[in-house]
Every structure is written in C-alpha cells, then in structure tokens.
Amino acid sequence: MSNQEKDHFNSHEAFDDKNLESLGSEQSEKIKENLERNVEEKSHETLEDVHKEALEQAMSVEKKHDARREQSPAERRGPLTKKERDHSFDNTMEEVRSQMSGPSRTFSKVIHNKTVEKVSDTVGGTVARPNAILSGSIFAFVFTLIVYLIARYNGYPLSGTETIASFILGWVLGLIFDYFRVLISGKTQ
C-alpha cells in the first residue's frame, strides 16, 4: 500500500467517490498484473504434464471415494458394532420423539437415559424377576385368602401385614424356583 493510500486511510475525512474509484482501479490493475505473471509462469508446463497431473488427481479422488463408500447391508458380513447400534438407536429415538408431545418427549428422554436403562435392566434381572413377582402375587392372594377365611371363621381380627408378608414369602420362593430352573435348564428366559 502506498503512502498516499495510507494517508487516505489514516485521515478521518470521508472518502469521496473519485478517490474510491481511483483506489479500486489501482487495485484491479495490480490484480490483473499478478494474474498475467502467474499465467506466463504456468505456460511453461507442457500439455502432457497437465494431463498427468489431472489423471493423478482423478485417481486419488477415486481412491478416497472407494475408501469412503460404505458397504450395503447385503454385502456386509458379521454383527453390527456397538457404535453402529448406538447410532441406529439414536436415529430411531430422534425420529420417534419428533412425533411425540412435549411431556411425552421429556418422559422418553428420562426413561431412555443410559443410566436409568442400566439400573432398570439390573433390577429386572435380579430382584424384580417376572417369575418371582408372579409367584409372590399368587402366593399372597392364596395365603391371604386362606388366612382371612380361617380368621373370620374363628373370629380373629387381621393386622394387615398378612398380605405383605405372604407376598415377600412368595417372592422369595419364586426367586428360589427361578434359580433352580436356570441351573437345570441353563436358560434365563
């Protein structure tokens, strides 16, 4: 940048149209000169060199494209990776949540949180096993009915803990039954 241009920029006077046009034309002339110099320097290359360079670039782009191309599910063999399953799950959840109302979307985000799911799976696999809960509830119903009928016949009052105690007893029996069933058959469900 020339000193005259610096003075124009450093002064706090407003530019007029003539000064702006002259500065613009000077800059465009400098750009044209640089372009002409670059064209002259590159004209020394032969047509073959340009052709070889174009082929090399095309081949490198083709190799990159082949490396990036994903295989179709029919071509891919073997199980999905954890990353692929997580990505698929996230995409599905995002699509489904977009069709939900606001409170449903919030509830879905809470219950499908990884921590909540792990705790739920652990509890479901240990203390809240379906067979244990089923046996607990059936045992509670039958035992409470028997105790109630006996107490009513004999005139005894019930305390209210009979149902809870019989459920816990049935639940423990259900866990024991499940444990032995898994030991014998080797299948969890």
Please indicate, yes or no, whether residues 108 and 148 belong to a single structural domain of this protein: no
**What's the pLDDT at 169?**
93
Question: CB–CB of 144/137 below 8 Å?
Answer: no
Q: What domain count does the chain have?
A: 3
Measured CA to CA, the distance from residue 11 to residue 16 in angstroms comes to 13
Domain annotation covers residue 15:
yes
Based on the domain organization, do 145 and 89 belong to the same domain? no
| Segment 81-140, tens digit of pLDDT | 888 888 888 889 888 888 889 898 899 888 888 898 888 888 887 787 888 888 899 999
- Backbone φ and ψ for 188, nearest 5 degrees, come out as -85, -35
C-alpha 138/C-alpha 166 separation (Å) is: 9
Query: In the prediction, which pLDDT does 130 show?
Result: 83
Contacts of 45 (CB under 8 A, 6+ apart): none
pLDDT digits (tens, 9 = 90+) for 25-81: 777 788 877 777 766 666 555 666 766 777 777 777 666 655 545 555 555 667 778
The answer to whether residue 152 is domain-embedded is yes
Alpha helices, H only, the chain: 3-10, 17-42, 47-68, 82-97, 102-111, 114-125, 130-154, 162-185
Distance CA(170)–CA(16), nearest Å, equals: 96
Domain identity same for 98 and 128: no
In a domain, 75, yes or no: no
pLDDT score, position 153? 94
pLDDT at residue 122, rounded to an integer: 86
Structural domain that includes position 150: 121-185
The per-residue pLDDT for range 148-166, each reduced to its tens digit, is: 999 999 999 989 899 999 9
Answer with the residue of higher pLDDT: 23 or 148: 148
pLDDT of residue 150: 95
77, part of any domain: no
Residues 10 and 62 in one domain: yes
Specify the higher pLDDT residue, 90 or 13.
90
51, 105: one domain: no
State whether 8 and 61 are in the same domain: yes
Answer yes or no: is 165 within a domain: yes
Q: Residue 74 falls within a domain, yes or no?
A: no
C-alpha to C-alpha distance for 10 and 176, rounded to whole angstroms: 90
Place of tokens 């190799």: 63
- Residue carrying structure tokens 């360079």: 53
Could you say which of 90, 112, 134 is where a domain stops? 112
Please check whether residues 107 and 139 belong to one and the same domain. no
Same-domain pairing of 125 and 178: yes
Structure confidence at residue 12 as a pLDDT band (50, 70, 90): very low
Residue 45 belongs to some domain of the structure: yes
Q: Is residue 73 assigned to a domain?
A: no
Q: What angle do CA 84, 87, 91 make, to 5 degrees?
A: 140
Q: How many degrees, rounded to 5, is the angle at CA 156 between CA 153 and CA 158?
A: 110
Is 143 or 11 the better-scoring residue by pLDDT? 143
